[in-house]
Structure 1
Amino acid sequence: MSTPDNLQSIVCNLIKEYLKKKPFFSIEDIVVFISNRVRANPNLNKNSIEIIIKNLVKKRVLIPGTKLMKNNIIEHPIRNEIYNYIRKNPSNINDIMKAIKIGSNQALWHLSCLEKFRFTRSKKIENQRIIFDYDSNTDLDELYYYLKQDIVRDIITLLKDENTSFKITEIATNLKRNYNTVKKYLEILKNLNLITVEKDKKRNLFRLDLEKYEKITKSIIDGEI
């Protein structure tokens, strides 16, 4: 008895065969090709084949106009390297180019393939397009991005090591950083609930929420992000 999974498997195998001969296709062309090959199978006709193919397209397993299928996307060594890098290091395209040592055209092509087939996704943060693993936790995107910034790491390290509250001027002086830059990232960390703000007369004092910070970093280390 033919099950939906079996029928889909038959169609997928024939699509792979077709793509070896014709790297680019339309749904109409491939339906005709498969229909001619499965005439002896009463469970597959042009209508059912088209439904299966459209379902594969909807799932991004197959994309019309390209010879690629999801199961062979990361067979390409450079694309595989890019994907594994992104899984560990959500980054912008410039960082990816430097890490993998490839040019912009090559990077754009491989990143486009990965995103089309839902291996990766991208999100705009601070006017940068940051690329993440598709299955990573979207709620933690900003946290992961900012925790990679040098100034954020410096601020957190200072607050963690000293385990006390600081004024903005004190943090800026300790880190030898611009006051407004420190203020900007403290506001970001506050919005991410990583630091708390205490009032001292008319001044704000900033303290690291150590419990929250350790919980977040553990999530990142454990791969929950």
Structure 2
Amino acid sequence: MFIFLINDTSNYPVTATYESKDQRKEYSQIFDYICKLCPQRSQKSIYYNQLKSRLRKRFKLNESSVKQVINHFVSLNALIVAFDDSISINILSNSTRKDIYDLIQRYPGVYSNVFKKSLGLGSRQVLWHIAFLLEFNIIKFESFGKIKAYGIITVEPKAILLGFIVLKDSLRTLLIHLMSDPAGFELIELVHIISKPKNSVLYTLKKLKELNVLSISLGETKHYCIRHELLPKIDQTISRYNNIFQK
């Protein structure tokens, strides 16, 4: 993925020629919009895919028209094609976005409610900044049902999912209870413990099994238990996340 830099030293729109006044007006509006939507005004840069998406939505352009518009500005040196992705780190110069990133880095597995409780941010505000972090390939997410849990781009997917389970109150209750007895528990017991529907508990147990955290003993009845060798690591994870629980 490459980016465009807005060239402040170009002679656009003086050097531009158009077929009609309407076309001149349309292109001027588009370029003004490009200048305004750039996330880092000091750098005036934007990723190609992001630019295409925004122009399609804002001006109702098809794929061919979007490419034609972009090529037009590039030909006039108003936009400069750059292949250096290092500029993406400047996305963190926004203080709110940096706070969100720091929370994700410190606690892999954070999700929407955690941002609201820990940072006092509204859902739309969080989603806006999350979209930028995802666009610039700084963070990623893993899905737990309909919920997205976030981690920085280099963290293991398993760490994100385990962090989410530790952060989610009902799931943490289930995890801690499973850790309390090496012999494990029957499904009906676990359903009663966290007061969740059977299908919901089964889904969580399935995720724990996929993370290689859970073992299942088969006898007269099926028992679910945490793998003994992982108990110290899980306990450390819960302790490390303890500060965020208090918020």
| TM norm structure 1 | 0.61
Q: For residues 58-97 of structure 1, what are the alpha-carbon distances to aligned partners after superposition, in whole Å with 9 as ceiling and x for unaligned?
A: x3x3xxxxxxx42422222111111111112333334323
1:123 to 124, 139, 142: 142
Counting only pairs closer than 5 Å after superposition, residues 14-25 of structure 1 correspond to structure 2 as 23=44
The answer for the alignment partner of 1:34 in structure 2 is none
For 2:78, give the aligned amino acid.
D
- Alpha-carbon shift at residue 176 of structure 1 (Å): 5.5
**Does the Cα contact within 8 Å between 1:194 and 1:213 map onto a contact in 2?**
no
Partner of 1:87: 105
- Say if 1:208 and 1:15 are closer, same or farther in 2 by CA, change over 3 A: same
Pair 1:221–1:98, CA change in 2 (3 A): closer
Inter-partner Cα distance in structure 2 for 1:190 and 1:146: 13
Q: CA deviation at 1:218?
A: 5.2
The 8 Å contact of residues 146 and 152 in structure 1, kept in 2 or not, is answered as yes
Structure 2 Cα separation of the partners of residues 139 and 168 of structure 1: 23
**Structure 1 residues 212 and 176, CA gap change in structure 2 (3 angstroms):** closer
1:73 matches 2:91 = yes
The answer to which of 21-30 and 156-165 deviates more is 21-30
- Counterpart of 2:223? 205
Q: What is the alpha-carbon root mean square deviation over aligned residues?
A: 3.6
Q: 1:192 to 1:86 in 2, by over 3 A?
A: same
Query: Structure 2: 5+ residue runs without aligned partners?
Result: 10-39, 47-72, 241-247
Amino acid at match of 1:119: I
Q: Which residue of 2 aligns with 1:37?
A: none
CA distance in structure 2 between the partners assigned to 1:22 and 1:218 by the alignment:
42
* Aligned counterparts, 1:19-98, within 5 A: 23=44, 28-31=77-80, 53-54=82-83, 56=84, 59=85, 61=86, 69-89=87-107, 90-98=109-117
Percent identical: 19
Offset of 1:204 from its aligned partner? 0.5
CA contact (8 A) 1:168 1:179 kept: no
Could you tell me which runs of 5 or more consecutive residues in structure 1 were left unpaired when the two chains were aligned: 1-13, 32-49, 62-68
Supply the distance in 2 between the matched residues of 1:214 and 1:75 (Cα, whole angstroms).
Answer: 37
Amino acid at match of 1:81: D
Q: Deviations over 1:91-111 (max 9, x none)?
A: 333432343223344323322
CA drift of 1:152 comes to 2.7
- Describe the SS at the equivalent of 1:163: coil
Cα distance change of structure 1 residues 16 and 140 upon mapping to structure 2, 3 Å threshold: farther
- Give the structure 2 partner of residue 141 of structure 1: 160
Secondary structure at the aligned position of 2:137 is classed as coil
Which residue number corresponds to residue 151 of structure 1? 170
What is the TM-score with the length of structure 2 in the denominator?
Answer: 0.57
Size of the aligned set, in residue pairs, is 177
Residue 113 (str. 1) matches residue 132 (str. 2): yes
Given that 2:142 and 2:161 are in contact with CA atoms closer than 8 Å, whether structure 1 keeps it comes out as no
Distance of aligned partners of 1:141 and 1:195 in 2 relative to their CA distance in 1, 3 Å threshold: same
1:125-167 Cα shifts (integer Å, max 9, x gaps)? 3112332212211343323322322233222322322332322
Structure 1 position 217, deviation (Å)? 5.7
Structure 1 residue 119: Cα displacement: 1.9
Using the alignment, how far apart are the partners of 1:208 and 1:123 within structure 2?
A: 22
1:178/1:78 CA distance change after superposition, 3 Å: closer
1:177 maps to what in 2?
195
